[in-house]
Structure 1
Amino acid sequence: MSSLKQIEAAARALEQGALVGFPTETVYGLGADAENVDAVANIYKAKGRPSNHPVIVHVAPEADIAYWVKEIPAPAQALIDAFWPGPLTLILKRADHIPDAVSGGQDSIGVRCPSHPVAQALLRAFKGGKGGVAAPSANKFGHVSPTKAEHVLEEFPVEVASGMIAAVLDGGQSDVGIESTIVDMSRLATHGPVLLRPGHITTLQLEQVLGMVVKAPDQAAPRASGTLEAHYAPTTPVAMVAVEDLEPTISQLLAAGKRVAVMAYESHTTDPRLQGWRQLNPDPIGYAHDLYADLRELDHVDADIILVEALPEKREWQGVSDRLRRAAFDSQGILERMLIKKT
């Protein structure tokens, strides 16, 4: 765990325009001074992130949210009161004096207040708690998000060695394990609240606070972090498999000479011929906590494919289902191609 001295040094580095890796309760972030356009540009450079893809501004619990946005509608304030500090990002209209570098050129901005104690200490030390730290996940764009400090160091060895990333604070493994829920509250009059990215805070919880339906994204919705179809992906292809098809698929792939890794609920999939396997947590909260660390570990076992047992189709699994769907998006058809027999 990083010391207070290390946290304060990281805050000074942020103030001087450097990048800092830091833990949040969701995943580790790669942070920069949200009002320093050059520093924010270095986030995009380090990650290989498209410049029109917005980042989220993280603020201390005592921060003046009104500094960052044009207005805070009553429903948005209700969500802040219910879920901050915590894994919820709100999209609101960006204040005119805030540079659009953090919003991908849009007139909106994503803001959240993390609950992780190291993140809060950093935000309170940075600019006396009055600044904002722009921070997407601390990984190369599209890769599996980091949930441990070592994952950040693994992703950015060159940037850390060069000093572009001045520090990587250690706060242990992230408790939540997947990125924050993102709700668009910038178009309430015309669209109502819109869920842009599911997460630990569920649609049901949001609706209980708001007293209104939270809608699915529409074509005019603001762009938001982590909402591209292909995202959160390991280098090894990922395929989702129904429970009844899992063992036959494993057998067919092994018979075809493929190296297979598996994420499943039951230990009967521990075939000694597997390259690696992880037993899944049957609870969605525990599953989310373990997901990215498991994917990262299996990405290093020299497998040709990672098979993941399909998730329950229930509302509380929406967040992890979303992440796995995006992780497997670029691997569509890979399983079928591996199983085609040569004639």
Structure 2
Amino acid sequence: MDKETTYVKVNPDSPSSEGVREAGRILREGGLVAFPTETVYGLGASALNPRAVAEIFKAKGRPDDNPLIVHISDKNQVPDLTDEITVQTGRLMEAFWPGPLTIVLHKKPVVPDVVTAGLHTVAVRIPDHPVALEIIKAAGVPVAAPSANSSGKPSPTTAEHVLRDLEGKIDMIVDGGACRVGLESTVIDMTSEPPVILRPGGISREDIEGVLGHVETDINQVSSTGTPRSPGVKYKHYAPKAKVIVVTGDDYAKIFARIAELVSEYRSAAKRVGILASAEMARGYCADEVFPVGSRTRLETVAQNLFYGLRFLDGADVDVIIAEGYPETGIGSAIMNRLIKAAGGRVIYV
């Protein structure tokens, strides 16, 4: 381990504290700080310091052609990063900021190429978390921050997750409690016409179309050089150590029956099986571990607990994780995106 990682707790209800001020100082001086947002924990560095940003990639083991999101604390900071703020972009900011929406815009030269993976665009958002906002204000600089986990693992939704992955690799972890949304932000490219959703997340396509009208979706979009236009679209993501299989369809009874068959098959082969189950069906399963992730009637609870559940089952040393699928509407689209990524495309339709 190269660094001594300081761990501080901050009360989200009164985030102004010595710990927050110290986090701001570390960021301003080129260090790395993990902090809570409403989506997942982020690993921050000054977005204007190329050396500091390069340390993010080193700490995470993240490919350097994977662009980062720049976090700011006020809409007035957007012109520091881009010259182009259209009427449509302004509507999105007004409707969803602070919040789990990242907007891709043409960048100014002040934004280092290491932040954008050499692209001529920059991804920007204002997080909706009091601790994150206070830290960014204290830093006095925009903060580049991907999720605060080892690259490829499930994103961290608690400070304990960050500690397990990054202790000794970063300067500070700020514990502000569990994340409210539990999935990363939606990313929308406003340099395209019509706008294109590059990654589904905490704001649904339906919500965005309520503000802008028609938008496209392209979750596999890469630039002409092969660089992903958004985080979370090119590489293996969100994956635990265990093999993940998703079973989905319109008939919940068929989902349950197929999962029960798979559990029997794997346990007959002496494999430990974990199930990422809806609250409605969790009690009916017979497996080594069952994690009730949330209710099918309130998909926001599934989103909130998804990464926590994947990490819990991995910690239980299961060999296989079988996950129920969900309708791909609203936040269900983001849930399924993360599950399919975690499964490496191993999806059974029933």
**1:239 match:** 245
Cα deviation for residue 196 of structure 1 reads 0.2
Alpha-carbon deviation of 1:157? 2.1
Note the C-alpha offset of 1:309: 1.5
Q: 1:321 aligns with which of 300, 313, 336?
A: 336
The Cα of 1:212 is off from its aligned counterpart by 2.9
Instruction: Note if contact 1:262-1:269 (Cα within 8 Å) is conserved in structure 2.
Output: no
1:166 is aligned to 171
Residue 102 to residue 13, structure 1, CA distance change in 2 (3 Å): same
- Residue equivalent to 1:339: none
- Alignment-derived partner of residue 285 in structure 1: 300
**SS of equivalent to 2:34:** strand
Q: Partners of 1:73 and 1:196 in 2: how far apart?
A: 19
Q: In 2, are the aligned partners of 1:275 and 1:301 still within 8 Å (CA)?
A: no
> Hey, what does 2:6 align to over in structure 1?
none
Give TM-score scaled by structure 1 length.
Answer: 0.89
| Partner SS state of residue 329, structure 1 | coil
1:102 is aligned to 2:107: no
In the alignment, the residues of structure 1 paired with residue 330 and residue 171 of structure 2 have an alpha-carbon distance, to the nearest angstrom, of 40
Alpha carbons of structure 1 residues 219 and 126: separation in structure 2 relative to 1, 3 Å: closer
Which residue does the alignment assign to 1:180?
185
Once residues 213 and 285 of structure 2 are traced to their aligned partners in structure 1, the CA distance between those partners, rounded to angstroms, is 46
- 1:140 aligned residue: 150
User: Shift of residue 220 of structure 1?
Assistant: 4.5
- Is the contact made by 1:19 and 1:39 (CA closer than 8 Å) also made in structure 2? yes
3-state SS of 2:56 partner: helix
Q: Please give the residue correspondences for 1:61-72 in structure 2 after superposition, counting only pairs within 5 Å.
A: 61=74, 63-72=76-85
Q: CA deviation at 1:219?
A: 5.3
Counterpart secondary structure, 2:315 = coil
Q: Give the Cα separation in 1 of the matches to 2:114 and 2:151.
A: 17
- CA deviation string 1:41-75 (max 9, x = no partner): 00011111111110000001254201101211111
Match of 1:309 among 324, 333, 340: 324
| Structure-1 separation of matches of 2:118 and 2:59 | 19
1:202 aligned residue (201, 204, 207): 204
Query: Does the residue aligned with 2:67 lie in a helix, a strand or coil?
Result: coil
The structural deviation recorded for 1:267 is 2.9
Number of residue pairs the alignment of both structures matches: 320
1:225 corresponds to which of 227, 231, 234:
231
- Give, in whole Å, the separation in 1 of the partners of 2:222 and 2:53: 27
* Aligned-CA RMSD value: 1.8
Shift, 1:261, TM fit: 0.7
Q: Give the TM-score of the pair, scaled to structure 2.
A: 0.87
Q: Does the alignment pair 1:268 with 2:283?
A: yes
Give the Cα–Cα distance (whole angstroms) in 2 for the partners of residues 286 and 184 of structure 1.
Answer: 27
1:27 paired residue number: 40
- Residue number in structure 1 paired with 2:90: 77
Identity within the alignment, %: 40
**Residue in 1 that maps onto 2:4:** none
1:150 maps to: 160
> Residue type of the partner of 1:259?
R
Distance in 2, matches of 1:15 and 1:269, equals 52
Residue number in structure 2 paired with 1:162? none
Give the distance between the partners of 1:105 and 1:299, measured in 2 at CA. Answer: 35
Query: Shift in Å at residue 84 of structure 1?
Result: 0.2
